[in-house]
């Protein structure tokens, strides 16, 4: 691909195979020669329902695996840097992070997102699930209240999405978030992975940098409080240890949470030490997809007070009642727009 635009590579591959469209629901692997280099192309679940258009295109190269995901109105920077997840950082034009056992590099490209992994996954669905690329963002935005604060937040954060994270990693991360800033949470999570996670194969261009998986509940349950405190989490250590032991011991079933309604799921999570309403709502919103969950932290409390109650001081109970009725069925999505808007535009 010397002298060519790498961002256009998926389009050239798609055009080359347009004559032999894949069968829906079936993976197709073909090898061809382009610019003197042999490439293996994997078509997996390629056809978008009702369109016949490619859904994704993956290329297995000697440097790992790259995939192009067609998607519109997706702001990677706003999404990955909006306080939802804490294992992503910008490297040049790309975003680099860890998903499960994969080190992933994401880059915005015309018409979609280019993703690279060091090890070829059996199925790319884990990435679609995390990024929620098939969510109809326009339909969600239409449910927001048509008021000046919400219009300003949406205009300031076009393409902001909600992620769908692993429940255990999300729960543990937000237990560690109590009274911490985002940069501090990232540092603690990185230390946890380094000390208790598994080493992962890194991507080309990362040099000597090392990456680790997020520790399992079992590994943290065995670690003990003193070892967790060495990761600079302070008073949060016993809370994280308790959650790890409850899950590792089978007393807290995170898979069962998704089978409950919102109120029951929230109540169940709040039985864990150190998990209040805000942390429970974050986990329900960012890991389970309960769009009615509306986490209220200092940023959201400030947003509601300044944008909706500027002339009088509203109690916390008044703000919660207002949020529960004003923002519609996707209130959690609206919350994320307000949160990012306050941090980046009015902070």
Round to whole Å and give the CA distance between 257 and 198: 27
Q: Are 187 and 198 in contact (CB under 8 A)?
A: no
Range with the lowest mean pLDDT among 14-23, 74-83, 97-106? 14-23
- Give pLDDT, residue 280: 97
Among 277, 310, 335, the domain boundary falls at: 277
Residue 33 pLDDT greater than 50, yes or no: no
Residue 121 pLDDT greater than 60, yes or no: yes
CATH number for the domain harbouring residue 204: 1.10.340.30
Number of domains in the chain: 3
Range with the lowest mean pLDDT among 123-137, 204-218, 246-260? 204-218
pLDDT tens track for 148-172:
999 999 999 999 999 999 999 999 9
Q: Give buried/exposed letters for 66-87 (b at 16+ CB in 10 A, else e).
A: bbbbbbeebbbebbbbbbbbbb
Q: Are residues 179 and 123 part of one domain?
A: no
Round to whole Å and give the CA distance between 82 and 212: 22
Round to whole Å and give the CA distance between 23 and 43: 9
Q: Are residues 129 and 16 part of one domain?
A: yes
User: What is the domain range of residue 330?
Assistant: 136-161+289-347
Round to whole Å and give the CA distance between 216 and 137: 32
Q: Are residues 309 and 270 part of one domain?
A: no
Q: What is the pTM (predicted TM-score) of this model?
A: 0.82
Q: Per the domain annotation, does 282 fall within a domain? A: no
Residue 126 pLDDT greater than 70, yes or no: yes
Per the model's pLDDT, the better-predicted residue between 11 and 129 turns out to be 129
- CA-angle at 130, arms to 106 and 69, nearest 5°: 50
Q: Are residues 179 and 325 part of one domain?
A: no
- 54 confidence band (pLDDT: 50, 70, 90): very low
- 61 confidence band (pLDDT: 50, 70, 90): very low
Nearest CA among 189, 211, 190, 215 for reference residue 200: 211
- Give pLDDT, residue 76: 97
Q: Are residues 190 and 89 part of one domain?
A: no
Sheet of 57-61: strand order equals 28-34, 37-43, 57-61, 64-70, 112-117, 102-109, 94-99, 88-91
């Amino acid at each position: 691909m010397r002298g060519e635009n790498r961002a256009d590579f998926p389009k050239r591959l798609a055009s080359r195979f347009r004559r032999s469209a894949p069968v829906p629901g079936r993976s197709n692997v073909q090898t061809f020669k382009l610019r003197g280099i042999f490439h293996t192309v994997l078509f997996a679940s390629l056809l978008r329902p009702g369109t016949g258009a490619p859904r994704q295109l993956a290329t297995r190269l000697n440097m790992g695996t790259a995939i192009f995901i067609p998607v519109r109105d997706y702001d990677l920077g706003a999404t990955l840097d909006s306080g939802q997840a804490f294992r992503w950082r910008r490297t040049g034009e790309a975003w680099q992070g860890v998903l499960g056992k994969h080190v992933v590099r994401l880059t915005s490209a015309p018409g979609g997102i280019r993703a690279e992994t060091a090890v070829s996954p059996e199925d790319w669905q884990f990435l679609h699930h995390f990024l929620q690329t098939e969510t109809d963002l326009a339909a969600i935005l239409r449910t927001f209240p048509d008021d000046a604060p919400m219009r300003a937040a949406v205009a300031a954060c076009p393409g902001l999405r909600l992620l769908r994270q692993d429940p255990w990693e999300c729960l543990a991360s937000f237990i560690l978030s109590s009274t911490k800033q985002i940069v501090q949470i990232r540092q603690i999570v990185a230390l946890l992975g380094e000390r208790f996670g598994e080493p992962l194969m890194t991507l080309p261009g990362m040099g000597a940098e090392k990456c680790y998986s997020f520790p399992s509940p079992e590994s943290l349950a065995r670690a003990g409080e003193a070892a967790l405190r060495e990761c600079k989490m302070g008073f949060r250590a016993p809370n994280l240890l308790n959650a790890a032991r409850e899950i590792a011991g089978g007393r807290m079933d995170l898979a069962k949470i998704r089978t409950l309604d919102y109120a029951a799921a929230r109540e169940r999570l709040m039985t864990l030490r150190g998990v209040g309403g805000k942390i429970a709502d974050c986990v329900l919103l960012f890991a389970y997809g309960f769009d009615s969950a509306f986490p209220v932290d200092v940023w959201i409390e400030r947003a509601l007070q300044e944008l909706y109650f500027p002339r009088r001081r509203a109690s916390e109970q008044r703000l919660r009642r207002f949020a529960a009725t004003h923002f519609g069925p996707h209130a959690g999505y609206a919350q994320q727009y307000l949160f990012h808007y306050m941090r980046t535009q009015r902070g």
